[in-house]
A and B are shown apart, each in its own frame.
Chain A
Amino acid sequence: DIQMTQSPSSLSASVGDRVTITCRASQGINNYLAWYQQKPGKVPKLLIYAASTLQSGVPSRFSGSGSGTDFTLTIGSLQPEDVATYYCQKYSSVPPEWTFGQGTKVEIK
């Protein structure tokens, strides 16, 4: 099984800071990665799919990059409404299977 390691588990940053969250796969997964945001008490929301494609309606301060084993979600300028837990999700095609990372809790300093 391909293992996903998401880091850090939590972070605290100031409004306007650039924030980076990393997801690492134990083997190459091409670009089979998505990112989700889950605000406290809310339903998860898709931010990025295929590693770097911004989902419709998602603010442009969010971006994704990477391919193979190392992937990054970047918040270009942290806003108060970005307080949430962020999850990466990998997709395996044979057999079809989806696996979430452990999550990164983002707070405002």
Chain B
Amino acid sequence: QVQLVESGGGVVQPGRSLRLSCAASGFTFTTYAMHWVRQAPGKGLEWVAVVSYDGNNKYYADSVKGRFTISRDNSKSTVYLQMNSLRAEDTAIYYCAKELVVVVPAFDYWGQGTLVTVSS
């Protein structure tokens, strides 16, 4: 079965960096685009970034553009989110999600999430 397991969250000071990982299994990782989605405590969902199946195309939400970098290692079936210049408003649970390959892409599997807290 499909499994997505995030790691790397924690407490970090404003302005510092953190790298999240998402290890995937149970499907052909090299076939699917992968996403990061976040949810601030008690708030709604916010899409963060996507990386194409081959890692060649990456897109970001305006709120993280220039600070966050998404990447993937297909040999390890892992997707990453490098987060730099972190701000208090980046505090959230970060989920990785697999893209459903249809005409209108949606997210059919989600990890359990990893909590990032930005605080001094």
Contacts and interface: CB of A to CB of B under 8 A. Distances in A.
A103 B102 contact: no
Contact of A100 (B47, B50, B105, B110): B47
Interface string B78-109: 00000000000000000100001011111110
Please give me the 3 A-B residue pairs with the lowest Cβ-Cβ distance, nearest first. Answer: A34-B106, A49-B106, A98-B47
A37 B37 CA distance: 15
Contacts of A51: 104
Interface residues of A, number: 28
A53 B105 CA distance: 12
A100 B111 contact: no
Given A34-B106, A89-B106, A103 B44 contact: yes
**Dominant SS at the B interface?**
strand
Contact of A46 (B45, B46, B59, B100): B100
B61 interface: yes
A101 B44 CA distance: 8
11 contacts: A33-B104, A34-B107, A36-B107, A44-B110, A50-B103, A85-B44, A87-B45, A89-B45, A99-B47, A100-B45, A100-B47
Nearest to B93: A43
A79 interface: no
A38 B45 CA distance: 10
B112 interface: yes
Chain B interface extent, by class: 20 to 34
Contacts of B103: 50
A95 B110 CA distance: 23
B104 A91 contact: yes
A95 B59 contact: yes
Interface string A12-45: 0000000000000000000111101010000111
Contacts of A49: 100, 102, 104, 106
